[in-house]
Structure 1
Amino acid sequence: MEPAHFEAAFNGDLNKFPFCVIEGGYEPENLNGIFSKVTPAGNSLLHVASSSGHEEMTRLIARNFPFLITKQNNEGNTALHLAVRAHKLNTVKILVDLSKRNPNISTDTLLTLKNKAEENTALHEALFALHASKKNVNILVDMACYLVLNDPNVTCLANKAGKSPLCMAVESGNEEILQYILNALPYQGDGLLQRLQGKSPVHVAIEQGQLDMLKVIKERKAELILLSRDEKGNTPLHFAAYMGCIEEVRYLLEIKSDWAFERNTKGFYPLHLACENGHIKVIKELLRKWPDPTELLCNKGQNILHVAAKSGKDNVVRCLLNEKGIDELVNKIDINGNTPYHLAAIHGNSMVLVTLMRDKRSKIDLVNYQGLTAYDILESKIYMEHDDQIDVNERNLKASGNVEENTAEVDLKSYKKTKQFQMMMTYSMLYMYHDILQWMFGNFQRWRENFLRCCENVGIRRRRPHRHISTKISRIKSKPPTPKQDLNNTINILFVVAALVVGAAFAGVLQVPIDNDKKDSNNDSASPPTSSAFEGMNNDGMESHLF
């Protein structure tokens, strides 16, 4: 393109060549060579004129060279895209109107053309500008309404981010344009849901905390809420519970309270998702809908305490332990025989482990269907990870700079190290409890007797305090008291020692403890369990049950 031609189009100067001769005796065909040229960015003279807002020049070029109306530049933008971005409503109307008049151009084609980078239509661009800028709001609303009026079907098309113009209207927070789009949609019921591409506008409203926009959708197109289910079987209430949006949860329960008892494809109720993501307010709201949480189980037979323990949500675990009717859930087993305590240990969630250990209802020595306690399973996992040696040559090669590590590899290694630290912390705590403290307190009675016997040998007699007859009778009927660990008093010590043990382990000082006596006396009991012990367990950490 000649610089002089570009300058004339940019300034809207109709007296400059070639614009001055278009309708002055020159046939348009003779000027096709000039108007077919583009700038280095691929923009035609129509792109330049329309984005500059020169109405007469835009009309002149588009009427005589209609092939330029749908021409796309290097980024895939048409002249209509650029006019919308520049907030030039009149040039937008000119381009759409002339496309209607030309039999060789379909208005639907012009309005549905997408650019390359974001895959946005012109309507996407208008709504994006409305969301991003507080300037020219009235012009942008009028522009969006005009584009919707000429082709309502465009409102259902998704861009590269999976957002339709309807979703972007919700994001903009502008009720006027949302109402206009919903009223213009020619579809009803399931037909609307089938035509709508990408994300659900209901999910977008919940995610953005736009309760007012959610109410507009309910008033104008209630089927978008009532019939909405994603590919995982999640209702809008599932999504609201997953996001922890308490106001939206309450509103959706008002619309349809039965959603609280509907499950997705994994068998998760909305309450499960709230527990998995640590949303206390939502949990309490949903618990009011059903007095007995023991009946709410997912496909793996896991209750809400299982899910919270597995996900490492200590705040949720503490909240649930204080709720009424939760007694049966504390030691409840899933389809693999694992209790919440098992899952907390398996996934290295030390805080949850401590919370459950402190609860008097917890039976921490229960075995699952493979005959393993939580300590047995975690010990076996530590053995397996200890046997997986790092390839020193590969590590040194990467450290030397000969092989570059991308961001994904670094993030994955960082995650694995963090998870390994959590597992070692949890293992250290269980090791101290089962192998050290239990041994100490198990031998306390023997130490006490030896001490008293030594006292008698040197002439110090035992003092036998006077007891009431009822006390003597009660002691005869009851078993001798066995000293137990007071977890409330020693929990701080556990954390300090566990941290020291983990630090030593990572420094290469601490070896994985092996009970040599047990191994010598019974080889089967000393060997780690087979992989079947971990069947049905997620060894990679927390997983999301919504997406």
Structure 2
Amino acid sequence: MRKTNTKGNTPLHDAVINGNRELAKFLVSIDPEVAYYNNKNDRSPLYLAVEKGNKKGILDDLLKSGALIPIYREDGDALPKGKSPVHAAIEQRSRDILLKIEKAKPELLRITEKELGNSLHYASSIGFLEGVQFLLQKFRDGAYETNLEGNYPIHLACKSHSADVVKEYLDKFPYAEEFINKKGRNILHVAAKYGNCNVISYILKQDPKLVEPLLNEMDEDGNKPLHLAAGYGKSLAAFVLVRDQRVEHFTVNHRNRTPYDLAADISKVAEEEYAKTDEMTAVERRQQFDSKNSIPANETEGNKADSEIAVDYFGAVITLAILYFHACPKKSLSELFPFIKQNTSQARDHIKRVLGNLLVAAVLVAGVTFTGAIQLPQLPQLRDNINPGDQHHELNSTSRNSSHDNLLYGYLFLDVAALSTSLVAALILLWSNFNYPKFQIPAVVFSNSMVCLSIVLMFGAFFFSVRIALLGSHGRFLAVTITVVAVMFFLAQALLVFPWIIPLSANQILLQLLLHYLYYIYFFLFVYGKWWLTQTLRKHSR
């Protein structure tokens, strides 16, 4: 009866797997204890019956057997060291099976798995609300047990995204500050670390007597909930916490780091790791980024047990942008954005690589603008098309000539300016390359600004030439549309090119300032907007 095959299955295992109720009932009546024996996958016949959803009533027959749960068997581990059928019922999200197990074998509710913890741990981790409600009635003591990581079931509820499960715990245990895991973290710490803004929002709305002991408590590393949200790049969690006036923004942890400092640290790490993967495919990039950047900045020197949390690049920089506006210490711009000078040899090597490309760009712009200067846009032959008797055309003749002259002067000015700046850049590059190589670095920096400026001017000259071409057109809507589109692209181009024109030290500060605003706007438009809309629709659906 207890003989096993190569898979570790007893005859009772195979009877359950094949759905043979009569045989299973016969076998368990002869040796009831086998119902708890595990195969090589740590699954007992009882577990398999639950996993199959009590198919053909086999689970009922197994539960009716009067055998006690074996603690030890000679040829393998018994149930306490294998997978619990209660955990299988929770995985199936079946309250009915839990009720069957509780009525027949209530002791099974107390079995703890090595990896998953007790039944309340597992039900809380997957957000199984009905299961948590049932287990809190039948197995209330399980809420006071910790798993291998030192977490209580309420901590695992805060890791999941179900605020309803957390509500169930807080209704039963309104003293949440007493649930501290082995790292000294309360439930708000855990919710912030995993970025569960739904849970955080719910906790912050509770009675101040419950919330205040959680908001600014430190864990064993001196981190408060806001520190963890910032250090793990959880933008929504950081936003919800930092907007609460009761949360302290500028306190330091045991490493003397504020939440803003941690966000800055992890964003730098994320940026460096992401920059190394530019030439990889999207899948390879994501795999390498997640594997290498899984430990947050605030825990790289300590315990690395939290390596399952991957830091997202955009999450890190968006979190930094949020804290820049709400929790940034008062510092000068030079302190916030220090300018890092390149090593001279590295800078020269880089300059040699870009000098040739920059020279080609300058010559191309010069050639295009020179061609445009010798082929001036001419006045459309409007006078040939004007009917001498048409007084309306005669009245507009003078105004068209005046507009043509103004547009032509503007075109000539921008075209000549673009030609001049590009030629200056090309000459300086040639001069530094052949005569004075030691001046290549400043020459390239200056010429880069000149080439960028010439491109902007060339676009402006092209816009004026288009306006001249449309001067005699009767398609007024087309002319307005082209003008609006051209102006928009001109401003966008100027915005992109402007940082390359100004000095490099000022460019770095300006670029980082702009990025904070851009990421902050992106956060509101997409990340926060999506979350807010989801919450609003969920409330209305109720």
What TM-score do you get using the length of structure 2 for normalisation?
0.51
Q: Is the counterpart of residue 259 in structure 1 residue 139 in structure 2?
A: no
Higher helix share: 2
What is the match of residue 353 of structure 2?
none
- 1:424-475 per-residue CA deviation (whole Å, 9 max, x = no partner) reads 11122223445699989xxxxxxxxxxxxxxxxxxxxxxxxxxxxxxxxxxx
- 1:10-63 per-residue CA deviation (whole Å, 9 max, x = no partner) reads xxxxxxxxxxxxxxxxxxxxxxxxxxxxxxxxxxxxxxxxxxxxxxxxxxxxxx
SS of structure 2 residue aligned to 1:326: helix
What is the match of residue 300 of structure 1?
183
What's the offset of the Cα at 1:382?
3.1
What's the offset of the Cα at 1:287?
0.8
Q: Sort the Cα spacing of 1:310 and 1:511 in 2 relative to 1 into closer, same or farther, 3 A.
A: farther
Give me the whole-angstrom Cα distance separating, in 1, the residues matched to 2:311 and 2:255. Answer: 28
Q: Sort the Cα spacing of 1:312 and 1:435 in 2 relative to 1 into closer, same or farther, 3 A.
A: closer
Give me the whole-angstrom Cα distance separating, in 2, the residues matched to 1:320 and 1:407. Answer: 33
Over the matched positions of the two proteins, sequence identity in percent amounts to: 34
Q: Is the counterpart of residue 177 in structure 1 residue 58 in structure 2?
A: yes
What is the match of residue 84 of structure 2?
200
Is contact 1:312–1:344 with CA below 8 Å preserved after alignment? yes
Q: List gaps (5 residues or longer) in structure 1.
A: 1-106, 131-139, 441-499, 517-547
What's the offset of the Cα at 1:385?
4.5
Q: Is the counterpart of residue 156 in structure 1 residue 36 in structure 2?
A: yes
Counterpart pick for 1:347 among 219, 232, 242: 232
Q: Is the counterpart of residue 359 in structure 1 residue 270 in structure 2?
A: no
Counterpart pick for 1:215 among 99, 102, 122: 99
Alignment of 1:371-520 (within 5 A): 371-386=256-271, 419-433=312-326
Is contact 2:157–2:165 with CA below 8 Å preserved after alignment? yes
Is contact 1:301–1:334 with CA below 8 Å preserved after alignment? yes
What is the match of residue 331 of structure 1?
216
Counterpart pick for 1:291 among 167, 171, 174: 174
What's the offset of the Cα at 1:208?
0.9
What's the offset of the Cα at 1:371?
1.8
- 1:275-300 per-residue CA deviation (whole Å, 9 max, x = no partner) reads 11122122111112222212221111
What's the offset of the Cα at 1:359?
1.0
What's the offset of the Cα at 1:187?
3.4
What is the match of residue 48 of structure 2?
168
Q: Sort the Cα spacing of 1:309 and 1:254 in 2 relative to 1 into closer, same or farther, 3 A.
A: same
Q: Sort the Cα spacing of 1:223 and 1:428 in 2 relative to 1 into closer, same or farther, 3 A.
A: same
Give me the whole-angstrom Cα distance separating, in 1, the residues matched to 2:313 and 2:95. Answer: 41
Counterpart pick for 2:201 among 318, 326, 337: 318
Q: Which amino acid aligns with 1:203?
A: H
Counterpart pick for 2:16 among 117, 127, 149: 127
Q: Sort the Cα spacing of 1:114 and 1:153 in 2 relative to 1 into closer, same or farther, 3 A.
A: farther
What's the offset of the Cα at 1:307?
0.5
Q: Which amino acid aligns with 2:314?
A: F
Give me the whole-angstrom Cα distance separating, in 1, the residues matched to 2:179 and 2:24. Answer: 46
Give me the whole-angstrom Cα distance separating, in 2, the residues matched to 1:251 and 1:359. Answer: 34
Q: Sort the Cα spacing of 1:198 and 1:409 in 2 relative to 1 into closer, same or farther, 3 A.
A: farther
User: How many residues matched?
Assistant: 323
Q: Sort the Cα spacing of 1:409 and 1:514 in 2 relative to 1 into closer, same or farther, 3 A.
A: closer
Is contact 1:314–1:352 with CA below 8 Å preserved after alignment? yes
Give me the whole-angstrom Cα distance separating, in 2, the residues matched to 1:352 and 1:374. Answer: 12
Give me the whole-angstrom Cα distance separating, in 1, the residues matched to 2:271 and 2:320. Answer: 13
Q: Which moved more, 1:379-388 or 1:414-423?
A: 414-423
Please report the RMSD computed on the Cα atoms of aligned residues, expressed in angstroms.
4.1
